């Protein structure tokens, strides 16, 4: 039986009140899960309404985290992480140009620095949903001191519409898993502090290093 507008507003209002007075964090999580199970389909957009209605900053942050964790769980049921193939060239070129505002330099399937290099290297992956690429990570193995190696992430892109669902974490976890299997224990990348990606990488556990100094002359 479909809920009327007044009933939906009442249900959301009761949830906000219950979430605010429930003392234990685990109990609030259980309340959230129960409400999702009961009303996700019948009350569209209820999470946005609740988020705006919660006045306590701490509880609002906690509610956002619950929503994000639920979305990550949901997306994993539909997204697969697969090794990069030559057939993915067209889609990753499009995604790169759309999200990075530049045409990817991987235009050919042969020659130095081509998609073949990343395919053969075995450390590049795509995130797909029903054969549509939502994000990708291109990385390769580099020699380091003492005969060791590290992975260098050349390009890391998640489509704007697919961001916030944990897809970036899934891609990064996949290359780290593959690296550990091959006794490679470090992952490096380059970004700029003023870029949004800088904060995302820090959140993922990356730290700044001072190994290199960028220099120029005119």
Domain boundary among 76, 111, 133: 76
Residues 124 and 170 in one domain: yes
Residues 17 and 96 in one domain: no
Residues 122 and 166 in one domain: yes
Q: What is the pTM of this model?
A: 0.63
The pLDDT assigned to 80 comes to 92
- Position 209 in a domain: no
Alpha helices in the chain (DSSP H): 5-21, 25-39, 46-53, 57-76, 89-100, 115-121, 167-181, 196-203
Q: What is the mean pLDDT of residues 139-152?
A: 88
Identify the band that residue 175 occupies on the pLDDT scale cut at 50, 70 and 90: very high
- What is the average pLDDT score of the chain? 83
Identify the band that residue 146 occupies on the pLDDT scale cut at 50, 70 and 90: confident
Is 121:107 a contact under the CB 8 Å cutoff? Answer: no
Q: What is the mean pLDDT of residues 151-179?
A: 88
Residues 58 and 45 in one domain: yes
Residues 41 and 91 in one domain: no
Comparing 181 with 130, the larger pLDDT belongs to 181
Could you give the CA distance from residue 195 to residue 99 in angstroms, rounded to a whole number? 13
Domain boundary among 52, 76, 100: 76
Residues 171 and 199 in one domain: yes
- Position 213 in a domain: no
Where in the sequence is the domain holding 42, given as residue range(s)? Answer: 5-76
pLDDT digits (tens, 9 = 90+) for 91-139: 998 888 888 765 555 555 555 557 888 999 999 999 998 889 999 999 9
The pLDDT assigned to 59 comes to 92
How many domains are there within the chain?
Answer: 2
The pLDDT assigned to 145 comes to 80
Residues 51 and 121 in one domain: no
Residues 87 and 30 in one domain: no
């Amino acid at each position: 039986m479909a809920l009327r507008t007044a009933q939906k507003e009442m249900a959301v209002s009761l949830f906000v009140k219950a979430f605010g007075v429930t003392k234990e964090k685990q109990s609030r999580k259980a309340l959230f899960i129960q409400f999702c199970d009961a009303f996700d389909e019948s009350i569209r957009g209820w999470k946005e309404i609740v988020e705006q209605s919660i006045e306590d900053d701490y509880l609002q942050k906690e509610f956002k985290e619950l929503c994000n964790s639920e979305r990550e769980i949901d997306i994993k049921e539909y997204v697969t992480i697969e090794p990069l193939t030559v057939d993915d060239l067209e889609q990753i070129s499009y995604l790169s140009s759309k999200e990075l505002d530049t045409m990817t330099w991987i235009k050919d399937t042969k020659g130095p620095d081509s998609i073949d290099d990343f395919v053969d290297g075995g450390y590049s992956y795509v995130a797909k949903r029903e054969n549509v690429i939502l994000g990708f990570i291109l990385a390769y193995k580099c020699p380091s001191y003492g005969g060791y190696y590290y992975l260098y992430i050349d390009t890391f892109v998640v489509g704007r519409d697919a961001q916030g669902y944990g897809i970036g974490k899934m891609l990064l976890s996949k290359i780290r898993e593959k690296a550990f299997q091959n006794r490679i224990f470090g992952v490096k990348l380059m970004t700029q502090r003023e870029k949004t990606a800088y904060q995302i990488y820090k959140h993922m556990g990356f730290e700044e290093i001072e190994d290199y100094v960028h220099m120029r002359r005119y």
